[in-house]
Structure 1
């Protein structure tokens, strides 16, 4: 039904239009002519074409305009022009033929006012990478970077590009046949990025050298510099500037990618399972409340949250087959003689998906790590960080980070998917090296 406006009110609006100031008329005129928009029904000042369109807006009311103006025309909803595309050909040409130019998303003024721009859909990848990167930066450099720092952003992008290169089929082929490194390929870009990272790290090291106090080391670099000084007369020098740069780069690389990818996949699983999210938030409210930040002292009192994080790491199987090890000497193993230097590939996925330990391992189920009374249950099969002497050195730090990041997010925000949870497909994107979550967006709604 057309908007019910009394004749008197409509006459008044038309009178307003006829008596509108030159500024108001000029404003509508500017909108109408700006960018050579397609023609359409003439708008009234302030209200535009609202009086000529059925409310709620329907295809039938717009069809009336196509008879006069064709399949592409302009209407004014208030003082803002809106381009109308009507019919298959117009939509195909715009949305498919020039889809990248027609892909922006309008935000409701009401929603914008209510949320102040928060909760807007976003891809969490970069932010989740910045957090662990800054944590390891504090440990190594005793320095936090502003997330808008151009140098820091470039540093982060370099690490993200390294992952893309290392997980590519070409690099995996080169690893199997090193002779291919002589050919052109993405490995050359990899070496270039490593040089840029080295320059960044060396700059930070030189900054710290100026303030180094041998009797009061403050961070990883300080301790390493002191060790270099003590070992400088050692002919079998293991502590050197090159070694420090390489070690620092490795720490940044491992910390940034594995923690951020686990976090990103974890949030994705929580979007799929809102009932799990709700239980975590109940535990947060009961143990922590809303008036203080979570701390590691809370972890032992939050068995469900702990179980969820273990299940996330088990389920996603981030590194199904870690980088190969090798035997350090000849070894007898299960009746076989394994020569020194033999490459060893460990299939962690076979342990994390063992159905004797984890019933229905193909399902995401936090009860895999919960006892009958709801207490946290450890499992020797949990080898997300590998096992033995080559276990990940950052396991302790990573566990702390993931617990604190998750609880802080869910304490302050509700996670909102852009689709129905049942339509979310959590199948990983297999790269050969990593099992990564598909790209997605979500809304962080303030609680």
Structure 2
């Protein structure tokens, strides 16, 4: 990894074997790395154990690396929590030609299943109706929304992988949910192989692990974002009120939301983006590696060096967002109230490793959220002003605090 004479970015002096573990609080890894960035700048080196890693912090350097130099930073770095299981396999943790083939295959498969087409939207709209049915059964009593939101998101992936959805009480489905939520265990799929091709990457192991990747990404991220989003709206009833007004005006209360409505609902679009920015579900993404020796801002990043992109530092970059520490849908609205995109928004990462399910996730978030708010008003158990919308824990992912809410029919 480290080449003789290579000029690595600056960083704290490492100790033998321990590296910089004394300067990095493992339980507050994101905060520790952001603090080090304040000392050493937007690109610095930190040793996690004996292995050096280059950390990228802030919108501008993240764009330079992940977008402007996308191919050079498209390698997948070590991710100890899953590396022993994945062994570099699957679409999320794979690299090189195997990853390229899997990504092309996944994109083609998604298109065949209707990604970006009305058929996929119909599946999401159908699932939203099932979700509403279960939400009505709460009869206005406080409940924890985690399970129902997870079921809804997971069922969308089930329709892609298995060709069918499951009832929320189905024992097989509950078992699947348990595997996803606890151990990310391997699940078998019915996808076939090209078993007679000795050079193929489409083996049972590869496709199985890709299936697990899809289930985890399609279930945990969407459901966590929804769960976080509802809690934020409980804290900000004025935002919920504006959403109700736009939903009633554009969609009404008698037909289900459609994706074509989104272009006429700039405030709702802005709120969904701001929920993702503020919730920051995956604050540091998954580590990258340099695919060859790279010169970046006068430093040398050697081939195969682990690169940690602090995506949160782009989403909370004060040079890109007027009030980054506050929840403010205005971050995505122009002066005329039209939706405004922001390149610093990196909830789905950026560059070659951008999440290929971004379109599906945005479809689910829009249809699920608007469907819920079309029929219900949110009620907190206590004073909305007392609701804490900071994460319960922050590591590789930001975990929303557990809570209960009540839904009152409109």
Which residue of the other structure, out of 257, 261, 266, is the alignment partner of 1:298?
261
Q: How many residues align?
A: 275
Which residue of the other structure, out of 167, 179, 183, is the alignment partner of 1:146?
167
2:396 is matched with which residue? Answer: 433
Alignment of 1:189-338 (within 5 A): 194=185, 197-198=186-187, 201-202=188-189, 205=190, 221=191, 225=192, 228=193, 231-338=194-301
Runs of 4+ in 1 over 2 A off after TM superposition: 231-234
Give the 3-state SS of the residue equivalent to 2:309 in structure 1. coil
Which residue of the other structure, out of 332, 349, 362, is the alignment partner of 1:399?
362
Determine the C-alpha separation between the residues in 1 that align with 2:277 and 2:137: 37
| Deviations 1:34-85, CA, capped at 9 Å, x for gaps | xxxxxxxxxxxxxxxxxxxxxxxxxxxxxxxxxxxxxxxxxxxxxxxxxxxx
Larger radius of gyration: 1
Give the 3-state SS of the residue equivalent to 1:345 in structure 2. strand
Alignment of 1:379-398 (within 5 A): 379-398=342-361
Determine the C-alpha separation between the residues in 1 that align with 2:198 and 2:368: 44
Determine the C-alpha separation between the residues in 2 that align with 1:158 and 1:437: 20
- Judging by fraction of residues, say which structure has more helix: 1
Alignment of 1:41-56 (within 5 A): none
Q: CA deviation at 1:232?
A: 3.4
Q: CA deviation at 1:244?
A: 1.4
Q: CA deviation at 1:117?
A: 5.7
Give the 3-state SS of the residue equivalent to 1:414 in structure 2. strand
| Deviations 1:102-146, CA, capped at 9 Å, x for gaps | xxxxxxxxxxxxx98601110000111011100011112111001
* 1:367 maps onto 2:388 in alignment: no
Q: CA deviation at 1:321?
A: 1.0
* 1:127 maps onto 2:148 in alignment: yes
Give the 3-state SS of the residue equivalent to 1:285 in structure 2. helix
Alpha-carbon spacing, 1:440–1:403, altered in 2? closer, same or farther (3 Å): same
* 1:416 maps onto 2:376 in alignment: no
Q: CA deviation at 1:317?
A: 1.3
Q: CA deviation at 1:356?
A: 1.8
Determine the C-alpha separation between the residues in 2 that align with 1:298 and 1:134: 23
Instruction: Quote the RMSD (CA, aligned, Å).
Output: 1.4
Structure 2 gaps, min length 5? 1-135
Q: TM-score, normalised by structure 2?
A: 0.65
Q: CA deviation at 1:281?
A: 0.8
Determine the C-alpha separation between the residues in 1 that align with 2:390 and 2:161: 35
